[in-house]
Amino acid sequence: MMGPAHSLSGAAAWLGLGAAAAAWDRPMPWTVLVAGTLICAGAALAPDLDQKSATISRAFGPLSKLLAAAIDKLSEAVYNATRAKGERRRTGGHRTLTHTWIWAVLVGAGFSAAAVAWGRWAVLVILFVHVVLAVEGLLWRMARVSSDVLVWLLGATSAWLLAGALNEPGGGADWLADGRPYLWLGVPIVLGSVVHTLGDALTVSGCPMLWPLPIAGKRWYPLGTPRFMRFRAGAWVENRVLMPAFMLLGAAGGVGAVVLAA
């Protein structure tokens, strides 16, 4: 799928989780619901950091482009080192390492550990990065015609305000783990990455999300829906069916999260 659909699916997933958490008597404070939605929407773009032309690879100028090149090489190396005998060598790493659930969990755990260890400053960086990505994904038309600096300023301002609200008494810093502030920040990052892989599994190429489990004699088996149900990224089904569906599901999840928490 393309960036906007990925971001919408990430936002809808977190809002749906908010409704479920409220139903399980663990409601999210509004700060967690809002911050988590933005983080999840941004994280839903993150697996494509293995592709130089992706939205995330362009979001932070030369820095993200260099990181994308490094991740591409790392992904290519891991693929070629772990591929099964029947799998061909690759000269690019797109849709390999960063499109696995192991990667999603490791990245989310790393961000959670950083937030717990370094507190507010780490939280500010995490929020800034993911809010910028959320803006690039959800508001991609406006982001494309505005300057990068304006998007970064919006991300920085939003991160500062959200971090301040989370840090207030009862603001949600320790939601999910009492006495362990910000431990939950990795959850929307993992969820966003997993939702990204599920979205890519709907497309023609499928997605090797369960690497390194051997499936049909392959380590990088591209899981997906039945062939007749798949579509090409950016096709009409994505724009006219899936994106409106994600909007409706997100709205329903958000309303459910607020109503059930009341």
Measured distance CA(73)–CA(57) in Å, rounded: 14
| Mean pLDDT for the stretch of residues 5-22 | 97
DSSP structural state of residue 215? B
* Mean pLDDT of all residues in 97-112: 97
Q: At 65, give phi and psi (nearest 5°).
A: -65, -40
Mean pLDDT for 68-85 is: 96
Give pLDDT tens digits for 237-255: 888 999 999 999 999 999 9
Which residue is listed with tokens 């099964």? 84
Q: 203: helix, coil or strand?
A: strand
Rounded to whole angstroms, the Cα distance separating 192 from 198 reads: 10
Tokens representing residue 67 in the block = 């990181």
What residues contact 83, with CB distance under 8 A and at least 6 apart? Answer: 89, 90, 219, 220
**Per-residue pLDDT tens digits for 16-74:** 999 999 999 999 999 999 999 999 999 999 999 999 888 899 899 999 999 999 999 99
How is residue 45 annotated by DSSP? T
User: What pLDDT shows up at residue 143?
Assistant: 58
How would you write 238-261 as a 3-class SS string?
HHHHHHHHHHHHHHHHHHHHHHHH
Lowest mean pLDDT among 6-15, 63-72, 88-97, 171-180: 171-180
